[in-house]
């Protein structure tokens, strides 16, 4: 299915398109992120409800944290703020806030996903520089070896290639930090960050 005026469609859902483009780095990356957000709904909503009814607030916190970051990345600012509030409530075991805001948050989540349907169900967009999880792990392994060998030029090249993996905002910012450390010849510190974000490649 071919969809024209993708960004116009997304604006109608209330997304902050400029923020989404800024976080993702371009239209193809942005549309790809929106599609992943759309497709993850069927997995995430049942998980939230499962943890909510089980009063498993640790896993609840982890799930809404990821949704907070993903919503922010596509420019769903209001929804991101709601999930951030739920994350803080779960962290502090503030059950009253969770019980008060969980259902409205899921209603807003569903409404946004329904608005994203024309983009979510069109043919998948794959940015030219996007790499798969398997390739990202291989690149990360090679990057760690390059850092261990003080291979400056190769480390820079591999850090740039690793940026093609669709990380969430937090990991994306950490990767930028690692790239800056490589520029400053701080290879051990850069390696520490790469090891920290490695488990997020899945």
What is the pLDDT averaged over residues 5-27? Answer: 88
pLDDT at 8 over 90: no
Instruction: Say yes or no: 191 and 104 in one domain.
Output: no
Q: Is residue 27 packed enough to be buried (19+ CB in 10 Å), middle (13-18) or exposed (0-12)?
A: middle
Q: Do residues 59 and 96 make contact, with C-beta atoms less than 8 angstroms apart?
A: no
CA nearest to 6, candidates 132, 133, 116, 82: 116
CA distances in angstroms from 1 to 4, 99, 188, listed in the order given = 10, 40, 47
CA nearest to 72, candidates 83, 63, 86: 83
pLDDT at 2 over 60: no
Q: What is the pLDDT of residues 70-110, one digit of tens each?
A: 999 999 999 999 999 999 999 999 999 999 999 999 999 99
Q: Do residues 156 and 186 make contact, with C-beta atoms less than 8 angstroms apart?
A: no
- Split into its structural domains, the chain has a count of 2
Q: What is the pLDDT of residues 186-197, one digit of tens each?
A: 999 999 999 999
> Is 103 a domain residue?
yes
Q: What per-residue confidence (pLDDT) applies to 4?
A: 53
CA nearest to 79, candidates 38, 51, 112, 48: 112
Instruction: Say yes or no: 160 and 74 in one domain.
Output: no
Instruction: Say yes or no: 115 and 142 in one domain.
Output: no
> Is 128 a domain residue?
no
Q: Which range marks the domain in which residue 72 is found?
A: 6-120
Provide the token pair at 166: 């669709």
How many CB atoms lie under 10 A from the CB of residue 131?
19
> Is 1 a domain residue?
no
């Amino acid at each position: 299915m071919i969809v024209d005026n993708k960004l116009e469609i997304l604006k109608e859902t209330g997304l902050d398109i400029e923020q989404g483009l800024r976080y993702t780095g371009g239209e193809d990356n942005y549309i790809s992120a929106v599609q992943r957000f759309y497709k993850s709904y069927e997995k995430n909503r049942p998980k939230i409800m499962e943890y909510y009814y089980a009063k498993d607030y640790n896993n609840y916190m982890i799930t809404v944290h990821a949704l907070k970051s993903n919503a922010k990345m596509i420019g769903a600012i209001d929804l991101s703020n709601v999930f951030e509030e739920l994350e803080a409530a779960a962290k502090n075991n503030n059950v009253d806030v969770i019980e008060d805001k969980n259902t409205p948050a899921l209603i807003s989540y569903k409404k946004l996903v329904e608005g994203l349907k024309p983009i979510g169900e069109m043919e998948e967009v794959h940015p030219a520089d996007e790499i798969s999880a398997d390739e990202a792990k291989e690149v990360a392994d090679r990057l760690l070896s390059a850092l261990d060998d003080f291979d400056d030029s190769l480390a820079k090249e591999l850090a740039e290639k690793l940026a093609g993996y669709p990380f969430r905002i937090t990991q994306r910012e950490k990767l930028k930090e690692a790239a800056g450390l490589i520029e400053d010849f701080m290879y051990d510190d850069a390696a520490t960050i790469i090891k920290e974000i490695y488990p997020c490649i899945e």
